[in-house]
Structure 1
Amino acid sequence: MAVRASMACGAILLASSALAQTATHAGAHNPAVKNNDAAHVAAPAKGANSFSEDQARGRLTKAGYQSVSRLTKDKDGVWRGSATKAGKKVNVGLDYKGNVTAR
Protein backbone atom coordinates (compact mmCIF):
# COMPACT_ATOMS: atom_id res chain seq x y z
CA MET A 1 0.00 0.00 0.00
CA ALA A 2 2.81 2.43 0.88
CA VAL A 3 4.53 1.65 -2.41
CA ARG A 4 1.39 2.50 -4.38
CA ALA A 5 0.95 5.75 -2.48
CA SER A 6 4.58 6.71 -3.14
CA MET A 7 4.21 5.92 -6.83
CA ALA A 8 1.01 7.97 -7.06
CA CYS A 9 2.68 10.96 -5.37
CA GLY A 10 5.65 10.66 -7.71
CA ALA A 11 3.39 10.60 -10.76
CA ILE A 12 1.55 13.71 -9.55
CA LEU A 13 4.83 15.55 -8.97
CA LEU A 14 6.11 14.66 -12.45
CA ALA A 15 2.87 15.76 -14.09
CA SER A 16 2.79 19.09 -12.22
CA SER A 17 6.41 19.89 -13.12
CA ALA A 18 5.69 19.20 -16.80
CA LEU A 19 2.74 21.61 -16.69
CA ALA A 20 4.84 24.26 -14.99
CA GLN A 21 7.48 24.04 -17.72
CA THR A 22 4.90 24.41 -20.44
CA ALA A 23 3.41 27.51 -18.80
CA THR A 24 6.85 29.10 -18.39
CA HIS A 25 7.62 28.88 -22.12
CA ALA A 26 4.20 29.95 -23.38
CA GLY A 27 5.32 33.58 -23.81
CA ALA A 28 8.74 32.83 -25.29
CA HIS A 29 9.40 34.03 -28.82
CA ASN A 30 12.14 34.33 -31.36
CA PRO A 31 12.89 38.00 -32.03
CA ALA A 32 14.14 37.15 -35.52
CA VAL A 33 10.66 36.04 -36.53
CA LYS A 34 8.31 38.92 -37.15
CA ASN A 35 4.70 39.00 -38.15
CA ASN A 36 3.81 39.75 -41.75
CA ASP A 37 3.71 43.53 -41.22
CA ALA A 38 6.91 45.33 -42.16
CA ALA A 39 8.15 47.75 -39.51
CA HIS A 40 10.05 50.89 -40.46
CA VAL A 41 13.26 51.32 -38.45
CA ALA A 42 16.17 53.78 -38.53
CA ALA A 43 18.87 51.17 -39.16
CA PRO A 44 18.66 47.57 -40.38
CA ALA A 45 19.76 44.74 -38.11
CA LYS A 46 22.77 42.72 -39.23
CA GLY A 47 22.27 38.98 -39.47
CA ALA A 48 21.73 35.99 -41.69
CA ASN A 49 18.76 36.83 -43.91
CA SER A 50 16.59 33.93 -45.04
CA PHE A 51 14.23 36.00 -47.20
CA SER A 52 14.38 35.19 -50.90
CA GLU A 53 14.57 38.07 -53.37
CA ASP A 54 10.88 37.65 -54.19
CA GLN A 55 9.94 37.67 -50.50
CA ALA A 56 12.02 40.81 -49.91
CA ARG A 57 10.35 42.51 -52.88
CA GLY A 58 6.93 41.49 -51.50
CA ARG A 59 7.71 42.91 -48.05
CA LEU A 60 8.87 46.21 -49.54
CA THR A 61 5.79 46.40 -51.76
CA LYS A 62 3.53 45.69 -48.78
CA ALA A 63 5.27 48.53 -46.92
CA GLY A 64 4.12 50.91 -49.66
CA TYR A 65 7.11 50.98 -52.02
CA GLN A 66 6.62 50.66 -55.77
CA SER A 67 8.95 49.83 -58.64
CA VAL A 68 11.32 47.93 -56.35
CA SER A 69 14.48 47.15 -58.35
CA ARG A 70 18.16 46.22 -58.13
CA LEU A 71 17.69 44.11 -54.99
CA THR A 72 20.92 42.55 -53.75
CA LYS A 73 21.87 41.09 -50.39
CA ASP A 74 24.86 42.90 -48.82
CA LYS A 75 27.59 41.47 -46.56
CA ASP A 76 25.46 42.21 -43.46
CA GLY A 77 22.54 40.14 -44.77
CA VAL A 78 20.40 43.18 -45.65
CA TRP A 79 18.47 43.24 -48.92
CA ARG A 80 19.14 46.63 -50.55
CA GLY A 81 17.69 48.21 -53.66
CA SER A 82 15.82 51.19 -54.99
CA ALA A 83 12.12 51.96 -55.10
CA THR A 84 9.65 54.80 -55.30
CA LYS A 85 7.20 55.99 -52.67
CA ALA A 86 4.90 58.97 -53.07
CA GLY A 87 6.64 59.76 -56.37
CA LYS A 88 10.12 59.99 -54.81
CA LYS A 89 12.95 57.58 -55.61
CA VAL A 90 14.54 56.15 -52.44
CA ASN A 91 17.09 53.52 -51.46
CA VAL A 92 15.44 50.77 -49.44
CA GLY A 93 16.64 47.96 -47.21
CA LEU A 94 15.07 44.90 -45.60
CA ASP A 95 16.81 43.19 -42.68
CA TYR A 96 16.47 39.59 -41.48
CA LYS A 97 13.74 40.63 -39.04
CA GLY A 98 11.57 42.01 -41.84
CA ASN A 99 12.23 45.64 -40.91
CA VAL A 100 12.26 48.21 -43.72
CA THR A 101 14.65 51.15 -43.99
CA ALA A 102 14.65 53.97 -46.53
CA ARG A 103 17.03 56.83 -47.28
Structure 2
Amino acid sequence: MKRPSFIVCISLFAAATAFAAAPASAQNPPVQSGPNNSAVNSAGQNNSDAPVAGRNSFTEGQAKSKIEDAGYSNVTSLKKDDNGVWRGKASKGGASTNVSLDFQGNVNAAK
Protein backbone atom coordinates (compact mmCIF):
# COMPACT_ATOMS: atom_id res chain seq x y z
CA MET A 1 0.00 0.00 0.00
CA LYS A 2 2.89 2.38 0.67
CA ARG A 3 4.75 1.26 -2.42
CA PRO A 4 2.92 3.58 -4.96
CA SER A 5 3.60 6.69 -2.88
CA PHE A 6 7.23 5.63 -2.50
CA ILE A 7 7.55 5.32 -6.29
CA VAL A 8 5.98 8.77 -6.76
CA CYS A 9 8.44 10.28 -4.26
CA ILE A 10 11.42 8.67 -6.03
CA SER A 11 10.15 9.92 -9.41
CA LEU A 12 9.75 13.48 -8.12
CA PHE A 13 13.19 13.38 -6.52
CA ALA A 14 14.76 12.16 -9.78
CA ALA A 15 13.03 14.88 -11.79
CA ALA A 16 14.09 17.59 -9.35
CA THR A 17 17.68 16.37 -9.36
CA ALA A 18 17.80 16.33 -13.16
CA PHE A 19 16.40 19.88 -13.30
CA ALA A 20 18.87 21.17 -10.68
CA ALA A 21 21.78 19.62 -12.55
CA ALA A 22 21.07 21.70 -15.68
CA PRO A 23 23.71 24.40 -16.10
CA ALA A 24 22.55 27.81 -14.94
CA SER A 25 24.43 29.52 -17.77
CA ALA A 26 22.05 27.98 -20.27
CA GLN A 27 19.18 29.84 -18.63
CA ASN A 28 20.88 33.16 -17.82
CA PRO A 29 23.33 34.84 -20.21
CA PRO A 30 26.50 36.26 -18.65
CA VAL A 31 26.40 39.86 -17.42
CA GLN A 32 27.92 42.38 -19.79
CA SER A 33 30.19 45.07 -18.46
CA GLY A 34 30.33 48.61 -19.72
CA PRO A 35 27.66 50.93 -21.10
CA ASN A 36 25.66 48.07 -22.65
CA ASN A 37 24.53 46.97 -19.20
CA SER A 38 22.45 49.81 -17.81
CA ALA A 39 22.10 48.22 -14.40
CA VAL A 40 25.82 48.15 -13.66
CA ASN A 41 28.02 51.15 -13.12
CA SER A 42 31.59 51.20 -11.87
CA ALA A 43 32.24 53.65 -9.05
CA GLY A 44 33.56 56.97 -10.27
CA GLN A 45 33.05 56.25 -13.95
CA ASN A 46 30.23 57.55 -16.11
CA ASN A 47 28.90 55.21 -18.72
CA SER A 48 27.06 58.03 -20.48
CA ASP A 49 27.86 61.60 -21.47
CA ALA A 50 24.26 62.63 -20.92
CA PRO A 51 21.79 61.74 -18.17
CA VAL A 52 19.93 58.50 -18.81
CA ALA A 53 16.19 58.57 -18.17
CA GLY A 54 14.93 55.94 -15.77
CA ARG A 55 13.34 55.33 -12.43
CA ASN A 56 15.69 56.86 -9.85
CA SER A 57 15.80 55.50 -6.32
CA PHE A 58 18.39 57.96 -4.97
CA THR A 59 17.17 60.22 -2.19
CA GLU A 60 18.02 63.90 -2.37
CA GLY A 61 20.80 63.40 0.21
CA GLN A 62 22.26 60.47 -1.73
CA ALA A 63 22.12 62.48 -4.97
CA LYS A 64 23.98 65.36 -3.32
CA SER A 65 26.64 62.96 -1.99
CA LYS A 66 27.11 61.33 -5.41
CA ILE A 67 27.57 64.73 -7.05
CA GLU A 68 30.05 65.77 -4.34
CA ASP A 69 31.92 62.47 -4.80
CA ALA A 70 32.34 63.45 -8.45
CA GLY A 71 34.33 66.52 -7.35
CA TYR A 72 31.62 69.16 -7.10
CA SER A 73 30.91 71.41 -4.12
CA ASN A 74 28.14 73.81 -3.08
CA VAL A 75 25.45 71.49 -4.47
CA THR A 76 22.11 73.31 -4.34
CA SER A 77 18.60 73.39 -5.83
CA LEU A 78 18.36 69.61 -6.38
CA LYS A 79 15.07 68.52 -7.90
CA LYS A 80 14.11 65.28 -9.62
CA ASP A 81 12.65 65.85 -13.10
CA ASP A 82 9.96 63.84 -14.92
CA ASN A 83 12.64 61.51 -16.37
CA GLY A 84 13.92 60.51 -12.93
CA VAL A 85 17.08 62.65 -13.26
CA TRP A 86 18.25 64.76 -10.31
CA ARG A 87 19.21 68.27 -11.50
CA GLY A 88 20.76 71.14 -9.61
CA LYS A 89 23.60 73.62 -9.41
CA ALA A 90 27.14 72.98 -8.18
CA SER A 91 30.66 74.40 -8.31
CA LYS A 92 33.82 72.79 -9.62
CA GLY A 93 37.15 74.48 -10.14
CA GLY A 94 35.69 77.82 -9.07
CA ALA A 95 32.96 77.78 -11.73
CA SER A 96 29.26 77.26 -11.08
CA THR A 97 27.40 74.93 -13.44
CA ASN A 98 24.21 72.95 -13.78
CA VAL A 99 24.68 69.26 -12.95
CA SER A 100 22.62 66.10 -13.22
CA LEU A 101 22.61 62.64 -11.66
CA ASP A 102 20.77 59.79 -13.37
CA PHE A 103 19.58 56.44 -11.99
CA GLN A 104 22.85 54.78 -13.03
CA GLY A 105 24.89 57.19 -10.91
CA ASN A 106 26.24 59.20 -13.85
CA VAL A 107 27.08 62.77 -12.86
CA ASN A 108 27.16 65.18 -15.79
CA ALA A 109 27.65 68.93 -16.11
CA ALA A 110 25.35 70.81 -18.49
CA LYS A 111 27.03 71.46 -21.80
- Same fold per superposition (TM over 0.5): yes
TM, length-normalised to structure 2: 0.68
User: Which residue pairs with 1:61 in the alignment?
Assistant: 68
RMSD: 3.3
Whole-angstrom CA distance in 2 between matches of 1:80 and 1:98: 12
> The residue matched to 1:25 in structure 2 has which SS?
coil
8 Å CA contact retained: 1:49, 1:96 = yes
Residue in structure 1 matching 2:30, options 27, 32, 35: 27
Aligned length: 101
Q: Please give the residue correspondences for 1:1-103 in structure 2 after superposition, counting only pairs within 5 Å.
A: 14-23=16-25, 24-25=27-28, 27-28=30-31, 31-35=38-42, 37-40=43-46, 41-103=48-110
8 Å CA contact retained: 1:38, 1:100 = no
Whole-angstrom CA distance in 2 between matches of 1:38 and 1:91: 19
Whole-angstrom CA distance in 2 between matches of 1:28 and 1:91: 33
Structure 1 residues 21, 32: closer, same or farther in 2, change over 3 A?
Answer: same
Runs of 4+ with >6 A deviation: none
In the alignment, residue 81 of structure 2 is paired with which amino acid? Answer: D
In the alignment, residue 98 of structure 1 is paired with which amino acid? Answer: G
8 Å CA contact retained: 1:38, 1:59 = no
- Higher RCO structure, 1 or 2 (CA under 8 Å, sep 6+): 1
Deviations 1:38-88 (A, max 9, x none): 433321111111100011111111111111111000111100001111111
In the alignment, residue 77 of structure 2 is paired with which amino acid? Answer: R
In the alignment, residue 24 of structure 2 is paired with which amino acid? Answer: T
Identity within the alignment, %: 39
CA drift of 1:28 comes to 3.9
Structure 1 residues 19, 55: closer, same or farther in 2, change over 3 A?
Answer: farther
Structure 1 unaligned residues grouped into runs of 5+: 1-6
